[in-house]
Structure 1
Amino acid sequence: MTQALESHRARLAAGEIYNGLWMMSTSQELAKVGSAAGYDYVCLDMQHGFTRPTDVLRLTDAIRASGSALVTARVSANRFTEIGMLADAGVEAVIVPLVSNVAEAEAAVSALDYPSRGGDRSWGPTAELMHKAVQDTRDERPLLFVMIENKEGLANVEKICEVPGIDGVYVGPADLAFAVDALPGQPNDAHAEALVRIRTAADKAGIVPGIHCGDGTEAKVRKEQGFRFITSAGDIGAAGRAFREDLATARG
């Protein structure tokens, strides 16, 4: 895991654009297909998707089996035990939702860092016991993205981005729209200004600006706006679109 993670860390630090696949389902087959397709990361969604702790190891194995995608997961909430569980399972990047202030950002960092790095993480070599000999991993930790998606988080985004240990921010555009009294998917000046503010804060702090998108067309727009960690497809949505298009073609 270390070599792969350090490669991703170096690529992101160098400014590369990452396009990702979002996994709502627990399909090992789709996880393999997505990784094989060449996505830079594949994210398991434990907040709004169907992934549960018992699914994590088999899904991360599926992602690694067919490609070199950054193995990513979004926790359901900013909880110490859940964040640590994903790190123990060998997840390489963790996305934490609804981070509203510096204290919450620091709590997420502390959940990933061992005491040797100033954190509170408890050592549990789950993935190592499954795959290889146990080693000293005190200096290892996944990448950490915190989500900016509510009014308080937006108001504190500059301070959140400066918290040591935060590797990037990840925007939830729909919830951010609600935060600025807009409707998801509808053009809105306040929403556009909020996106610029978040991306600017990330750039200034030297961390990675990320955002959630529904398809490649939207992802291309966000790339042009300066975002670099961009979900450009979801497994269920992409499969549904492909099914409908293929059926329409078949029916002529």
Structure 2
Amino acid sequence: MPIRLTLPPTLGERIAASDRPLVGAWSCAGSATNAEIIAGSGLDVVLIDAEHSPADLESVLAQLQAVAAYPVAPIVRPPFGDTVTLKRYLDVGVQNLLVPMVDTAEQAAGIVRAVRYPPLGVRGVGSSLARSSRWNRIEGYLGDADSTISVFVQIESATAMADLEEILAVDGVDGVFFGPADLAASMGLLGQQEHPDVVGAVLAGIAAATAAGVPSGVNAFVPAAADRYVAAGASLVIVGADVALLARSTEALADRFIGQRPTDAADDADAPRPSY
């Protein structure tokens, strides 16, 4: 007889059960080893990126398998939120999705339909072939699949901010995640994530999500920014990335043992790095 398995709690369930904001880091190198190192760090969340990284579906799968032994919530950001892409990510066992570049409530509703089986959605049925159901070892998976998936949509444009209340009202959107870098760019403030207008927009977004009873997350690689957004009510804060941590740490070694790098001559090497 096959073993009957259960799936871990979703990101939404973990947020609801926590008495503090969850804290995590990005795995952006496409490396299962990096993802596992993050998973064993004591952080709550490993955010596996396939939008701004070399990760493909197989490396996302390898990262999910690597972190499965640890008590963390793996979240995966696919490159795009179309129906076919989301189906494939779900089938390899992604439970927690962060879908990038969601500008409207209509887009958000389409994403929700893409992750739900008919009659509520359009997700293709291939559970017997897929890791999502552990190859039909999760009893009743087809009927309960919705409860095993959390959908967060990324709010990272002025257009999305203008439609935020409608996005928050979409049934099946379990949370929103603010991306200050792209938001700044869309506001004509490229590279200025700490500009007062950008910070004000993110704070207003967190307040709107809180009022709607919807969890919100945010990128904040500078500790002061993370503290600010936690104080504002964010439920999830991503405070670093494997590639950024490696870059900054190796630069510090070079500075310590070789001396100031030529590219730093015109810049303050101790200045805080911007949020992602």
Q: State how far apart, in whole Å, the 2-side matches of 1:106 and 1:250 are.
A: 53
Specify the code of the residue in structure 1 equivalent to 2:153: V
For residues 148-167 of structure 1, the C-alpha deviation after alignment (integer angstroms, 9 at most, x for no partner) is 11122111001101100001
Q: State how far apart, in whole Å, the 1-side matches of 2:168 and 2:238 are.
A: 20
Q: State how far apart, in whole Å, the 1-side matches of 2:168 and 2:24 are.
A: 22
Question: Using a 3 Å threshold, how does the CA distance of structure 1 residues 44 and 11 change in structure 2: closer, same or farther?
Answer: closer
- Residue in structure 2 matching 1:140, options 140, 145, 148: 145
- Same amino acid, percent of matched pairs: 26
Shift of 1:249: 4.1
Count matched residues.
249
For residues 183-221 of structure 1, the C-alpha deviation after alignment (integer angstroms, 9 at most, x for no partner) is 333543321221122112211221111111225443233
Shift of 1:36: 0.2
- Residue in structure 2 matching 1:76, options 67, 72, 79: 79
The equivalent residue for 1:89 is 92
Shift of 1:2: 4.8
Q: State how far apart, in whole Å, the 2-side matches of 1:183 and 1:121 are.
A: 37
Question: Using a 3 Å threshold, how does the CA distance of structure 1 residues 2 and 168 change in structure 2: closer, same or farther?
Answer: farther
Q: Contact conserved, 2:207 with 2:232, CA < 8 A, in 1? A: no
Q: Contact conserved, 1:147 with 1:172, CA < 8 A, in 2? A: yes
Secondary structure at 1:42 match in 2: strand
Which piece of structure 1 moves more, 197-206 or 106-115?
Answer: 197-206
- Residue in structure 1 matching 2:217, options 210, 221, 246: 210
The equivalent residue for 2:103 is 100
Specify the code of the residue in structure 2 equivalent to 1:107: G
For residues 69-113 of structure 1, the C-alpha deviation after alignment (integer angstroms, 9 at most, x for no partner) is 111111111211111211111112101111111110001101111
The equivalent residue for 2:40 is 36
Q: State how far apart, in whole Å, the 2-side matches of 1:131 and 1:249 are.
A: 52
The structure with more radius of gyration: 2
Matched, 1:188 2:192: no
Q: Contact conserved, 2:203 with 2:229, CA < 8 A, in 1? A: no
Specify the code of the residue in structure 2 equivalent to 1:74: R
Secondary structure at 1:140 match in 2: helix
Q: Contact conserved, 2:183 with 2:198, CA < 8 A, in 1? A: yes
Q: Contact conserved, 1:74 with 1:97, CA < 8 A, in 2? A: yes
Shift of 1:251: 5.4
The equivalent residue for 1:52 is 56
Specify the code of the residue in structure 2 equivalent to 1:145: F
Q: State how far apart, in whole Å, the 1-side matches of 2:6 and 2:200 are.
A: 38
Secondary structure at 2:40 match in 1: helix
Q: State how far apart, in whole Å, the 2-side matches of 1:96 and 1:184 are.
A: 22
Specify the code of the residue in structure 1 equivalent to 2:164: V
Secondary structure at 1:37 match in 2: coil
For residues 7-29 of structure 1, the C-alpha deviation after alignment (integer angstroms, 9 at most, x for no partner) is x4333124531111111111121
The equivalent residue for 1:21 is 25
Specify the code of the residue in structure 1 equivalent to 2:52: H
Scaled by the length of structure 1, the TM-score of the pair is 0.89
Question: Using a 3 Å threshold, how does the CA distance of structure 1 residues 242 and 16 change in structure 2: closer, same or farther?
Answer: same
Query: What's the Cα RMSD here?
Result: 2.2
Structure 1: unaligned runs, 5 residues or longer: none
Q: Contact conserved, 1:44 with 1:72, CA < 8 A, in 2? A: yes
Specify the code of the residue in structure 1 equivalent to 2:121: G
Q: Contact conserved, 1:21 with 1:232, CA < 8 A, in 2? A: yes
Which piece of structure 1 moves more, 98-107 or 137-146?
Answer: 137-146
Specify the code of the residue in structure 1 equivalent to 2:238: T
The equivalent residue for 1:222 is 229
For residues 30-59 of structure 1, the C-alpha deviation after alignment (integer angstroms, 9 at most, x for no partner) is 111100002211111111111111212111
